[in-house]
Amino acid sequence: MKSAIMLTSLLCTFFFSMHVNAEMKVPTAKETEQWRVELLEPTKNKHFAQSEKGKYEVYSLSVTNQGNKAYNVNIGAFRNEPSNKKMFGLAPQVENEIMNTGQTFSFTNFLVKEKTEELECVVTWEEGPVTLKNGKKASGRKYKETIVFTP
């Protein structure tokens, strides 16, 4: 009986003191009708950011337009932190005036804090410009898709 209590208390101590430190599984990809977003291994180059054990991991992100031609494309990557509802930007947002079908944009070696629970890629874009009755051109309908990666 004594050994069972000891074993139970030892296991409880072990499990409650565990530090959750899940890394994202790479390579992995998620697709929508319009976009293919891939979370990739970082580039092995000493001139780019590298992982630092206990602080942050490094990943690369690739976003490919697999749908119709997209205009005024904005791509942003964000991460969260435990016990915080805010999302923190990972890299400068990228703007591309036109992204043709098959065209890809890559974020190379961006840092992600180790305890991150979600990595979010937000893509916004517009349909092609429309011509109004008076002959002026106006922006097309706006769209937004959010792709989330979890450990």
pLDDT in tens, 61-96: 999 999 999 999 999 999 998 888 889 998 767 888
Looking at the 3D structure of the chain, how many domains does it have? 1
**Residue 94 belongs to what domain range?**
22-149
Higher pLDDT: 151 or 8? It is 151
Using the Cα atoms of residue 76, residue 79, residue 85 and residue 88 in order, give the sign of their dihedral: negative
Higher pLDDT: 132 or 92? It is 132
Confidence check: pLDDT of 11 > 80: no
CATH of the domain at 54: 2.60.40
User: Is 12 within a domain?
Assistant: no
Higher pLDDT: 5 or 43? It is 43
User: Is 10 within a domain?
Assistant: no
User: Is 71 within a domain?
Assistant: yes
Residues 14 and 8: beta-carbon distance below 8 Å: no
